[in-house]
Structure 1
Amino acid sequence: MKKLILLDGNSIMFRAYYATAYTGNLMKTSDNLYTNAIYGFVNMMNKILTIEGVTHIFVAFDKGKQTFRHQTYKEYKGGRKPMPEEFSMQIPFIKEYLDILNIKRLEADDYEADDLIGTMAKRFAKTFDEIVIISGDKDLLQLVGNNVKVFLNKKGITDLEEYNATNFKDLMGFEAKQLTDYKGLIGDKSDNLPGISGVGDKTAIKLLHEYQTLENIIANADQIKGKLSQTLKEEKEIALRTKMLATLELDAKIDILEEETRLRKPNLMELRNFFEKLEFNSFLKKMSFQSSNEEGIEENVTLDEKKEYYLNDLPQTLTALKDAKKIVIEVELDGENYHKSSIIGIGLIIDQRGFYLDKRYIDNDELKSLLSSDLIIYTVDAKKTYVSLKYLGIDLKHLAFDVVLAAYVVNPSYITSDIKSIIERFMPTKLPYFEEIYGKKTTYVVPDETIVANYVLDKGSLVCNLKEIIDKKLEENHQTALFYDIELPLAKILGLVEINGFKVNEDKLKEVGEYFNASMKKMEKEIFDLVGYSFNVASPKQLGVVLFEDLQLGHGKKNKTGYSTSAEVLEELSKRHPVPRLVLEYRKYAKLYSTYVLGLLAEINQTDGKVHTIFKQSLTQTGRLSSTEPNIQNIPIRTEEGRIIRSMFIPSSDNNYLVSADYSQIELRILASASNCFAMKETFNSDIDLHANTAAKIYNVDLEQVTKEMRRMAKAVNFGIIYGMSDWGLSGELHISQKEASLFSQKYFEVFPEVKPYLDRCVEETKARGYTTTFYNRRRYMPEINSSNAALRKFSERASMNAPIQGTAADIMKIAMIKVQNEFEQGKFNSKIVAQVHDELIIDCPQEELEIVKNLVKKTMETAVDIGVKLDVDVEVGKTWDLK
């Protein structure tokens, strides 16, 4: 039996996007590439490819240009909103995905996707036993026939309703061949096609039962009672035109052979890379499970049966360690947070032999002493391994390789915490996924000790082979120094920073929580007084009814759960009524309370009163650090509430102070160096305020005549340039017209003539190479910069201007951290780094070391690197992180 699937690509991807877009919660990668439409489309394709008996498949798209229908009726599909940029940037990826699946796709001039599907259905009606059309567009229902079925999206993207020759009339009330007659009568709002005035669903169906076709209804208008008779005569041309426009073209001039639509196997390596690039980890895991089932991989099989694996043999382990110079260590924990998790066991690879020790055997003084000696250590995740063992009294001296970190340096686009996915980028492996051993989070269970031991030692056994492969790649990319001199030494330092922890004033935090709660209640009371009754302010559904039905503040945009009450909507409504402004205030306090008060309280270690945040070293595309549990990077800086939260962070003792060392305008200094801009370099090297100096030159006034407003505008331009801000973006930032913004930018580039050519070079070099580089050869890959999709291309062009600057700033901060820590260790200071946030280092410093540490840290950071532009570090001291 032969079965052909005809898929309406446009309809499915639109539904995939809007299935989540209406909530405002769009999926995106860590690099801010939106992916919700791609994810939904992949989900839909997974379901389609499991339809029983599918042998052939074809996907049709609109080309996005005007067709013969627009030429006939200029208002055709008029009134539709432009496609959001967040959506349009995803379309090339959807098409790339289909190409990887080896699925035939097509778009053609002058035709819509529906026409291509109609042509295919007619052309192959006798060739296939069954043709299945999948879409969200009811226009395709006119194709339903003896061997043609149409499945329409009912809810979301995977819930489908079947229309076939048997059930069509029961579902629609008329025959499939009458669909265009029906549309001629009632019109089609989605395509902006008018029908006969006053004719609705019931009237149209009744007329079709009696007269069969639109033409016959018009011909018998005199026999139809009431006002409708005259209306039919007056509007018959409108109805006939709508019917014509709704009728699919079944003989489109396209050349498609049956063989081209045959279902083929996908390119699995490309598919894996695609999922990794878009951070679709759930699909990656499904791929692994499927390949494991296909290959019949047994749960306990080791990668190399010739290896010697020893289970809980402490004497053999100690003997092997005494003669060892270099080992692989793999630590297995019962959770992801290594500050809170318990150890299950450790695996050691020594001279190609594997030794697994359960936690019962690790508390051994001789073992701890040997592991804390001058051994060269390779591991999968250096920071996790270092911290986990440090808590057990084991101090690893020489961390010499880290698989996760090295893979990240080679290509930061591949961000995953699963070691199997990382390994498979460099070499084939039958290593199972973590979930295949322990189950998912909801069903997590530690299996038999033998299974765990095999899994841990199999991971460790791969490390040496991986090191050889990845080292070659690092050398090819000129990234050996970036990994071995910056990232790897930093891993241990970050481990120490995490162990040090950042103390929180828990009692004061609880007081702040009460203040935020009281503020929320005050906002609620004011809202209830204005509305006249109480309701759940935190419920968007209830709030929508209050705003748009009771207060009648406009029509509102409706979605599946009610009216949209996004921040953007509330900002606009605030111009008409005080309630939306109060709701925004309420939400601000609610977020601060839930995210920072409750969030911080949950993370405070009750033994030392500190939070031990985890610094993610291999997460961002630019090389910047991020943090989690808790996320201290996102604590607001400039708001009063943010300053209140920062003031909750305090030194570890009454005798200590917090020292903040913050690079001043480091990204602009890097821009001056990278562009070799003489005027900008001279400004920095002469310790002149860049923003004021920029304003003076743009406005052609003396430096002393620069006002605060002039400086503010110059500052916006300076930082806007780094992020590739357009004239349109600048106009919004400065609240001026786009024309004024354009003149402002033009004047700026005249003042700093080397900057524009540098930014243009960044874009052109990225287009040629496919990636950007920092001063220290950190790469950020941007294949989308050559995309035919304008939104995606512009996004990448802006990123290509910023990535070298932001990445270099991250590299400099990492170098500075290493040097500051080395100074502390060599000078045997008691001062400790407790956090790194953006361009700032925070140090917990005893009072007796305060003056020397302030000077030492400032000097070390300012001289950490030489970029030909003076680096400046602002050092402040306080009893809280708010520096008060």
Structure 2
Amino acid sequence: MAKKLVLIDGNSIAYRAFFALPLLNNDKGVHTNAVYGFTTMLMKILEDEKPSHIMVAFDAGKTTFRHETFKEYKGGRQKTPPELSEQFPFVRELIKSYGISQYELENYEADDIIGTLATKAEKEGFEVKVISGDKDLTQLSSENITVSITKKGISEIEDYTPDHIKEKYGLNANQIVDMKGLMGDQSDNIPGVPGVGEKTAIKLLKEFHSVENLLESIDQVSGKKLKEKLQEFKDQAVMSKQLATIIREAPIQLELSELEYEGYQREELVRFFKELGFNSLLDKIGGDVAEEEVELDDIDWTTPEEITDEIFADENAFYVEILDDNYHYAAIIGFSISNENGNFFLPTKQALNSEAFKRWAEDESKKKFVFDAKRSEVALRHAGIHLVGVEFDVILASYILNPSESPDDFAAVAKLHGYYDVQSDQAVYGKGAKRKIPEEAIVAEHLARKASTIFEMKPQLAKELGKNEQYELFSELEMPLSLVLADMEFQGVKLDMDRLRKMGADISSQLNEIEKKIYSYAGEAFNINSPKQLGVILFEKLGLPPLKKTKTGYSTSADVLEQLAPKHEIIREILHYRQLGKLQSTYIEGLQKVVNSKTDKVHTRFNQALTQTGRLSSTDPNLQNIPIRLEEGRKIRQAFVPSEEGWVIFAADYSQIELRVLAHIAGDDKLIEAFREGLDIHTKTAMDVFHVSKEEVTDNMRRHAKAVNFGIVYGISDYGLSQSLHITRKEAGQFIERYLQSYPGVKEYMENIVLDAKEKGYVSTLLHRRRYLPEITSRNFNIRSFAERTAMNTPIQGSAADIIKKAMIEMAIRMETENLKSRLLLQVHDELIFEAPQEEVDILKEIVPDVMENAVELKVPLKVDYAYGPTWFDAK
């Protein structure tokens, strides 16, 4: 087999990936765009090149031997954005999971490692492929070394062979360093000869072949001014060539045999992809890892011939098995009970037809310990049984104890706490097309093991919650909230299907009109959804400048079109066409797919044990992501209507709750005073930061102040702020610095919370929700920095989440106490949505703000705005 070595410039490819893709976050708030881009590039390399040997080289530090020659080497480079820095450890972990060698060498650059290994491999008969975004490496090109340079983005590469270099520059590969010596390199701060650009450098090298020959023959150079420049800066030209020259004999302690590639570590890669949320990439490596056979202890269980009161005890572990995620309409597979009397499997029909089972389920005095109280309650409600007396929920307890570990598979949760006597559902039922329900005896034993494990786990988890001072958070907040959410899920929200279909028709009509405009600008009809055809129209027919290319042609991605928007009217129409098209497919058509045809309602599922901050999310459908910034998106809320005639939708939301929580936690006098006096906080911030009066605050000042106000809550960096405001990183950094000077309490909070987190290993919300941050003491600067930003923003976001959860519970109690017919339907971010009879609106106007504003006591007042109308859209 032919030997083929692939050498990857790790820093360069990571940088390219970061700036080629928009900022992405996984569900834990970690930026992942560079890692994702690097992964897709690596997958493509392995598939296309099929290397026998491979390695990724990294720069070891900021200084190298080149700085001894020229201390300003690479001095012009901007500081690496923290959103990229925090991803490098994950890039390294990715490479390790792939089973690929990685190497760095103190005092040398990745280029030198690559140059040394490429030269050595060529001598030993290898075919070598170098992959980078840095054209400096093209000097390595030879008969057996191809240097592939990523063009704009990472999806397309340009192969530099000696022939390609000759065709492109008219030079040999070894003259690339001479060209750099003359023209310099702005990205590396290599000075070169002032006034000498690429064309002049190439012209000189074609005549004189090298920098040294040129300087020895300066008298033969035509052009007085050029001759003078070469004479004046000849030492600088020699130095620049030295700086640009890649070392091919670096002291690398590495043998080529150590770079042999044996394939990726599948289990590690699956775990890594899941951790970062790269679900779309899992299928490319074969999906989940198959469950290994596990040895299980024997368990005694029975299926009673008749369900009687004697089966149940005062305290019972109770498990409801539903395989379908959309459990609102799914058939229950079976039940299991574990208590002092033993372990029992109850077949579905037998249990639901049993008066003894129904009596027990609806008896408040019979305590139930469950796995996912909300799910169990909703499933039984659909079966006509109201489950009460639920005292403990294993999945909620586990989530509170460590929100960074939040699996929803029973066996995975059990293993987190040291219980291994349950198989995963995948092992029992299979996966995907192979998923099926096995014979009843297998199901019965599986369910009995689950109930038995719940019974064993409950005392341990309760003890740990008490030890952490979190039992109150569990019992007074999350447990009662699960029942409120169950009621909301069961109730569902009504959709006006006729209106939704009409919206779809209106959007189709708009799409047709926009289509005509686009064709008019283009001068012909074409497939707007075809990037290839669109690229031809924009960049060949209309002559717009192509900013990126892909392997299939011109890039017409959103970021490219945004940059081109001022250059032609067609661009804005295309962007609007895409927005409406996504709205049509994702929401207009998407909502119709998940609506219950019998009730015309959608029953979204609220994820209570998912996010690390404690915030709720929703799925099937996700009602928290309707794009309300787009007018047509806002109008989708017109389809959400009350389920009763003569009722209205009533919506109430917290005003700037996270900033109010920040003021309380930080104890900053200026912020507290501003909120107490009812000032517009963004105007007040602009006044303080820009040192102007209220009358002098411009719209732009307020916009900047608003961005940094909310950015501070999320640990924004100068890079992040510069991107959102379209200003330079320097300006953004200065703005953040002025903000912290204006609000010293906030600055002190940020410093103290990090110190506190380093001492304790976690941060807490006002209601004692914890987020553990083991990375905060990491020796790796990037990992530690991300943990520090997380320490700053988690108490704020988490406390805001806890407050609205508490308000939901208090509202449910208040509505029941006052015997109201009104119902709580949805929670979306900081907003609660109700449906109510018209005659109860005046009551809600009083009690909803009262409950929400007094859910907790802060140093600043909580403020709630409300509105109501015939649809959700009108309640704004």
Question: For structure 1, which segment, 107-116 or 553-562, has the greater mean C-alpha deviation from structure 2 after superposition?
Answer: 107-116
- Equivalent residue for 2:345, pick from 347, 351, 356: 356
3-state SS of paired residue (1:357): strand
The 1:284–1:778 alpha-carbon spacing in structure 2 relative to 1, beyond 3 Å, is: farther
Q: Shift of the alpha carbon at 1:673?
A: 0.9
Aligned to 2:197: none
| Corresponding residue number in structure 2 for 1:335 | 324
In 1: Cα distance, 2:516 partner to 2:402 partner: 53
Secondary structure of the corresponding residue to residue 619 of structure 1? coil
**SS of aligned partner of 2:566:** coil
| Deviation of the 1:589 alpha carbon | 1.1
Q: Deviations over 1:226-281 (max 9, x none)?
A: xx999877325699999999998675435569999999999999999867643567
Residue 879 of structure 1 aligns with which residue? 870
Distance 1:245 1:697 in 2: 47
- When residues 695 and 392 of structure 1 are mapped into structure 2, their CA distance, relative to the original with a 3 A threshold, is same
- Residues 495-514 of structure 1: pairs in structure 2 closer than 5 A: 495-514=486-505
Work out the CA distance in 1 between the residues paired with 2:587 and 2:178. Answer: 52
Give the drift of 1:645. Answer: 1.1
Please say if residues 87 and 782 of structure 2, whose CA atoms lie closer than 8 Å, have aligned partners that are also in contact.
Answer: no
SS in 1 for 2:369: strand
Taking the aligned partners of 1:289 and 1:510, their CA distance within structure 2 comes to 39
Which of 346, 351, 356 matches 2:335?
A: 346
The aligned residue for residue 826 of structure 2 is 835
1:667-678 aligned within 5 A: 667-678=658-669
2:533 is matched with 542
Whether the 8 Å CA contact 1:188–1:194 is kept in 2: the answer is no
Moved more, 718-727 or 539-548: 718-727
Residue 385 (structure 1) aligned with residue 376 (structure 2)? yes
Aligned match of 1:308: 300
Given that 2:291 and 2:427 are in contact with CA atoms closer than 8 Å, whether structure 1 keeps it comes out as no
Which residue is 1:31 aligned to? Answer: 29
CA shift at 1:711, angstroms?
Answer: 5.1
Q: Is the 8 A contact 2:116 2:249 kept in 1?
A: yes
Aligned partner letter, 1:600 = L
1:428-479 Cα offsets, whole Å, 9 max, x none, are 5263333333332233322222222232222332223333443344334332
Structure 1 residue 388 displacement after superposition: 0.8
Alignment CA distance shift 1:117-1:233 (3 Å): closer
Secondary structure at the residue paired with 1:111?
A: coil
Q: Does 1:396 align with 2:393?
A: no
Q: Secondary structure at the match of 1:413?
A: coil
Q: Secondary structure of the residue that 2:588 maps to in structure 1?
A: helix
Name the residue aligned to 1:371.
361
Amino acid at match of 1:455: H
SS in 2 for 1:810: helix
Q: CA deviation at 1:670?
A: 1.0
Q: CA deviation at 1:396?
A: 1.6
Please tell me whether the aligned partners of residues 272 and 284 of structure 1 are also in contact (alpha carbons under 8 angstroms). no
Asked whether the equivalents of residues 338 and 455 of structure 2 are also in contact (C-alpha less than 8 Å), the reply is: no
2:226 matched residue in structure 1: none
For 1:355, give the aligned amino acid. Answer: F
Q: d(CA) in 2 for partners of 1:786 and 1:688? A: 40
SS at match of 2:567: coil
Q: 1:136 to 1:81 in 2, by over 3 A?
A: farther
The one-letter amino acid paired with 1:762 is I
Give the 3-state SS of the residue equivalent to 1:874 in structure 2. strand
Alignment of 1:213-232 (within 5 A): none
Deviation, 1:524, is 0.6
Return the match for 2:311 from 303, 321, 338. Answer: 321
Q: Distance in 2 between matches of 1:16 and 1:706?
A: 41
Identify which of 509, 516, 532 aligns with 1:525.
516
C-alpha deviations, 1:564-588, integer Å up to 9, x for none? 2222221221111001110111112
Against the structure 1 CA distance between its residues 570 and 785, is the aligned structure 2 distance closer, same or farther, given a 3 Å change threshold? Answer: farther
Q: Which residue of 2 aligns with 1:204?
A: none
CA distance in 2, matches of 1:352, 1:131: 71
Task: Supply the distance in 2 between the matched residues of 1:584 and 1:185 (Cα, whole angstroms).
Answer: 42
Which deviates more from structure 2 when the two are superposed, residues 861-870 or residues 183-192?
183-192
* 2:321 match: secondary structure: strand
Matches within 5 A, 1:633-648: 633-648=624-639
Q: CA deviation at 1:507?
A: 0.6
**2:208 aligned residue:** 234
- Which residues of 2 match residues 596-635 of structure 1 at below 5 A? 596-635=587-626
- 1:75-224 matches, within 5 Å, as 88-96=85-93, 105-113=102-110, 116=113, 136=131, 187=172
Residue 79 of structure 1 contacts residue 192 of structure 1 at CA under 8 Å; is this kept in 2?
no
Partners of 1:850 and 1:539 in 2: how far apart? Answer: 51
In structure 1, what is the Cα distance between the partners aligned to 2:283 and 2:761? 24
Q: Does residue 682 of the first structure (1) align with residue 661 of the second (2)? A: no
Cα pair 1:413 1:621 within 8 Å, conserved: yes
Say yes or no: does 1:475 pair with 2:473: no
- Give 1:857 deviation, angstroms: 1.9
Q: Percent identity?
A: 38
What is the correspondence of 1:11-26 to structure 2 with a 5 Å cutoff?
Answer: none
1:18 and 1:184 map into 2 onto residues whose CA distance is: 24
Q: CA contact under 8 A between 1:352 and 1:461: conserved in structure 2?
A: no
Q: In structure 2, give the amino acid aligned to 1:304.
A: D
Q: Structure 1 residues 389, 43: closer, same or farther in 2, change over 3 A?
A: farther
How big is the shift at 1:743? 6.5
What's the TM-score, normalizing by structure 1?
Answer: 0.77
* 1:4 and 1:57 in contact (8 A); partners too: no
More displaced 10-residue stretch of structure 1: 706-715 or 807-816: 706-715
- Secondary structure in 2 aligned to 1:310? coil
The one-letter code of the counterpart of 1:34 is T
* Secondary structure of residue in 2 paired with 1:424: helix
CA contact (8 A) 1:180 1:247 kept: no
Q: Against the structure 1 CA distance between its residues 746 and 26, is the aligned structure 2 distance closer, same or farther, given a 3 Å change threshold?
A: closer
Contact kept, 8 Å, 1:184 with 1:243, in 2: the verdict is no
Distance 1:802 1:507, change over 3 A: same
Q: Following TM superposition, by how much is the alpha carbon of 1:540 offset from its aligned partner in structure 2, in angstroms? A: 2.4
Preserved CA contact (<8 Å) 1:122 1:250: yes
Distance across 2 between alignment mates of 1:446 and 1:16: 45
Secondary structure at the counterpart of residue 327 of structure 1 = strand
CA contact (8 A) 2:147 2:161 kept: no
The offset of 1:331, in angstroms, is 1.9
> Partners in 1 of 2:392 and 2:665 — Cα distance?
31
Please provide the CA RMSD for this pair.
5.3
**Per-residue displacement from partner, 1:108-134 (whole Å, max 9, x unpaired)?**
1243457557878999999xx999999
2:634, 2:873 within 8 Å by CA — same for their partners in 1? Answer: yes
Gaps of 5+ in 1: 160-170, 196-227
Deviations 1:383-403 (A, max 9, x none): 111111111122221222222
Contact 1:279–1:416 (Cα < 8 Å) also in 2:
no
Match runs of 1:797-816 below 5 Å: 797-816=788-807
The letter for the 2-side match of 1:93 is: F
Matched position secondary structure for 2:826: strand
**Cα distance, 1:718 vs structure 2:** 3.2
Q: Partner letter of residue 29 of structure 2? A: D
Q: Secondary structure at the match of 2:308?
A: helix
Q: Aligned ranges for residues 747-826 of structure 1 at < 5 Å? A: 748-749=739-740, 751-783=742-774, 795-826=786-817
Residues 1:540 and 1:173: Cα distance change in structure 2 (over 3 Å): closer
Structure 2: tracts of 5 or more residues without a match: 181-201, 215-237
SS in 1 for 2:301: strand
Distance in 2 of aligned mates of 1:188 and 1:753: 57
Q: Which whole-Å CA distance do the structure 1 matches of 2:175 and 2:353 have between them?
A: 73
Report the 3-state secondary structure (helix = DSSP H, G, I; strand = E; otherwise coil) of the residue aligned with 1:509: helix
In structure 2, distance between residues paired with 1:743 and 1:78: 21
Per-residue displacement from partner, 1:696-717 (whole Å, max 9, x unpaired)?
Answer: 5566677688776665554444
Count of residues paired in the alignment: 820
CA contact (8 A) 2:23 2:33 kept: no
Distance in 1 separating the partners of 2:860 and 2:374: 33
